[in-house]
Chains A and B, each alone.
Chain A
Amino acid sequence: MKNAWNNFIKYRFLLVELVKKDIKLKYRRSYLGILWTLLEPLLTTAVLTIIFGKFLGKGGRTFPVYILTGRLLYTYFANSTKAAMKSIRKNSGMIKKVYVPKYIYPFSTVLSNYVIFMISMIILFLAVIVFKIKPTWHLFQAIIPLSLLLVLVMGVGMILATLAVFFRDLEYLWSVVLMLIMYTSSIFYHVNDLDLGRRMWIFKLNPLYLIIVNFRNAIFGRPMDMEALWLAAMYSFGSLLVGIIFFYKQQDKFIMNI
């Protein structure tokens, strides 16, 4: 344990460098640069609002903000788990030649995506002003679902990174799972509008939905949904624990498979 910590301290500069590299290179390559991070959720939210808000006549005045909150969190979850999954293979050249703690690759990927996610929050901030949603002290609660999301993504990312070393075609399977997660995250509909009956448990199995619920509560000035909070915390820390143990047990085999 102490060794692992000392090692982390020794390589923390590498972690910072890798996070910086991801962000720098992402924006160096595209002409619109940082603007894309803001434009992309804005445009997808516009599309979703038109289809679900106008055509289906759902939602109300603040429906675009409702969509945007779900959309931003889902995009972060999807992008960073996908990137973390590929992180070990992507850095195989380095892993084969020099010793570095291997968890640093999924970690740095998840963190750099988190920074980009935080930048994309600017758009939410603007939307809240435009749609005149009064900020309340509940806004501070947002930090809890946002932290849980990071923990969840770290855990899921490590599990996927490990599995992807052994199974190259995992990406295809994961994109299907991501679709399932997207449709059960109530991004563009209200759960109350659905005719669920006793089938509410489907949503309670989706950690991302549970996190989005409390993030929305914070933005719209409502108290936290405690059940969703506990469940989300359980899933997040559970997946982190499983991820760390699984990754740790398999990491010595990575080099023979990449």
Chain B
Amino acid sequence: MKKEVLKVENVSMRFNLMEKKVDDLKDYVIKLIKRELRYQEFWALRDVSFSLREGERLGILGLNGAGKSTLLKIIAGVLKATEGKVTIKGKVVPLLELGAGFDLQYTGAENIYLYGAVLGYSKEFIKEKFDEIVEFSELGDFIDVPVKNYSSGMKARLGFSIATIVEPEILILDEVLSVGDAKFRKKSEKKIKAMFDKGITVLFVSHSIEQVRRLCDRAIILDKGRLIADGTVKEVSNLYEKRINEP
């Protein structure tokens, strides 16, 4: 039995939604006086528990609003769960919306250092890997041009190249396999496949059952924030297909 790398225990996430968004002082005071400050509770996740062992590749299925992204954000540390606990052993690399941390005024080269620092890498490490990142991104001379002049494909390529420079223990993929043009897409898929072969643990969110079947060996279904199925990818994806096709 391989060791456990991720453990999600009874995780619940509550959002307090105001009926009307109040985000300035003036509105807040007026609503407070008129007693119109009503909050609506909304549970994006309810009592979700599962654990992953080293090398498992988990597909997360669910309709829009089922809580998939919320779950990934909690695992990535961006959100903090209202209740419950997440234990992680090893380095997590989230490949969520690549290049979101770029500064547009900065050149590609400067952004490599900035984004690397955001991901928690040290300066020496980035320096060492700099050439490798530039080469993989295929940006060439564009690396010294401010990112605001990049196309979205170029941005995604650079983001992908920086984020995948380390070999993480846990990789979070949120439908990012569609990066850049066809050629780069192939290249990035190859890189991710190579990581798979080395036996890293993967969390994968996708609306495409096909992709999940191809990439994962285990799957869960989330429905309105609850975990309703957990098993091998074959069983669970069949069940999911059946649920979708139900009238």
Which residues of chain A have a CB within 8 Å of any CB of chain B? 10-11, 13-14, 16-18, 21, 24-25, 28-29, 93-100, 166-170, 173, 252, 255-257
Contact = CB atoms under 8 A, between A and B. Distances in A.
A27 to B, nearest CB: 12
Contact residues of A: prevailing secondary structure = helix
The CB with the most chain B CB atoms within 10 A, among A14, A16, A170, is that of A14
Contacts of A257: 23
B78 A99 contact: yes
A98 B78 contact: yes
Interface of B: 15-16, 23-26, 28, 76-80, 94, 96-97, 100-101, 103, 105-106, 110, 113-114, 117-123
A98 B106 contact: no
Contact of B106 (A10, A25, A97): A25
A14 B106 contact: no
A21 B123 contact: no
B114 A21 contact: yes
Contacts of A168: 23-24
A97 B101 contact: yes
B101 A167 contact: no
B113 A17 contact: yes
Given A13-B123, A97-B101, A169-B25, 8 more contacts: A13-B122, A17-B114, A18-B117, A24-B110, A93-B100, A94-B118, A97-B96, A255-B79
A167 B118 contact: no
Given A21-B106, A93-B101, A256 B24 contact: no
B15 A98 contact: no
A166 B118 contact: no
Contacts of B123: 13, 16
B78 A97 contact: yes
A166 B114 CA distance: 28
Nearest to B121: A13
Contact of B24 (A28, A98, A99, A167): A167
B105 A28 contact: yes
A98 B114 contact: no
A30 B121 CA distance: 31
A168 B25 CA distance: 7
Given A93-B101, A97-B97, A252 B80 contact: yes
A46 to B, nearest CB: 32
A4 to B, nearest CB: 14
